[in-house]
A and B are shown apart, each in its own frame.
Chain A
Amino acid sequence: MDCRDYREKMPEYNKGLLNPEQIMRFEKHLGLCPMCRREAARERRLSTLLEGWTIPEKELGFDAQLAAGLASIKEKERKRGDRWWRKLISPWTLRLAYSGLAAAVIIVGVILAGRLRSDFLFFQAGNTDLIITQEMEVLQEFDLLRDLELFEYWEEIEGVEPADKENS
């Protein structure tokens, strides 16, 4: 240990928080090192100086304001407590609600990711026409695709071969 380590330990030494062995080592160093001895004395004097800043008793007094504040809080709490659903709110029901919400988010995420992935795999396997048929079904359901012209246009932009069309 060098002087820096001893300086760091100084507050603990002054508060008597070191163990007997540490105290022995500390005091041995203080006996040999005038700089650390001086610093230890300054530390102690600083504490004494700070301790000297006392607060007049009258400043510590507490007025009746606290009682008034408490009364209004109690009144508010009483009104709130009258609502039936408030009684259900406790740290445990909140925790339950949060975990339920988190589970729902995860489930929806997994479902969406699964659907995207299966679509992608389906597409990769060359089933582009089937994908289009699926999309078609959706569109038909919405009643947005009634005439063939639009269908052909759709085929054109997707670049579907006429041979594939026969299968569908």
Chain B
Amino acid sequence: MLIMDKKVLIDEHVQLMLRFQAGDESAFETLVEFYKSRVVGVAYRFLQNPEEARDAAQEAFLKMYCARQKYEPGTSVFASWLYTIVNRVCLNILRHRRRHPVQRLEPEFGTEGGKSGQQLEDSRAEDAMLTLMQAETQAAVRKVVAGLPETERMAVILDQWEEMSLAEIGLVLDKSVSAVKSILFRARAKLKIKLAGYLDQEGEG
């Protein structure tokens, strides 16, 4: 989501939500269409399990449907309101996971542009190396993000991949702007320590 388009989008989505509140179901469908991959993405990075992420997204949209009358445009931008629901659903899934630890299988992660063994052989050695390195780096990133405490993890996800402002993240996490600032500062400091090997490789930019 480009920052420049954001204001336009916010107004548009608030209008859609108000239309949905008034009974226009097609407005709900439009919102789901716009946000579904974003919501799955947030849940995917937070839970790091593709199946749970899809369940979380679906539950979040159903909750959004049921809670439509509780939405008040004055108090929060639409995305913050939606991600507040997503955050709660994700936390519930984590709680459930902690209570039933044995039933969970380790997730199978795919990587963008990931290739099968045969494809790897076919492509040039340089490409294969690059893909391997990318996969390795992504695995490292996944691991350190998963290691962050829940609030820090959600703050980093909303800041880094959803490009939300500190105020918007604050609405999702029920924190002040200055609190979000220090949460992100702390989280990024941890990430920099754990990913130091990847950050210090290259020369100073």
Contacts and interface: CB of A to CB of B under 8 A. Distances in A.
A65 B45 contact: no
A45 B198 CA distance: 9
Interface string A151-162: 000000000000
Report the contact-size class of chain B (Cβ under 8 Å from the partner). Answer: 35 or more
Given A46-B199, A55-B41, A66 B62 contact: yes
A47 B160 contact: yes
A37 interface: yes
A49 interface: yes
A45 B134 contact: no
Classify the interface of chain A: helix, strand, loop or mixed: helix
B106 to A, nearest CB: 15
16 contacts: A38-B204, A44-B205, A45-B199, A49-B137, A53-B45, A55-B44, A55-B45, A55-B112, A56-B112, A60-B40, A60-B41, A62-B36, A62-B57, A62-B58, A69-B62, A73-B66
Interface of B: 32, 36-37, 40-41, 44-45, 50, 53-54, 57-58, 61-62, 65-66, 69, 110-112, 114, 134, 137-138, 141-142, 145, 156, 159-161, 181, 184-185, 188, 191-192, 195, 198-200, 202, 204-205
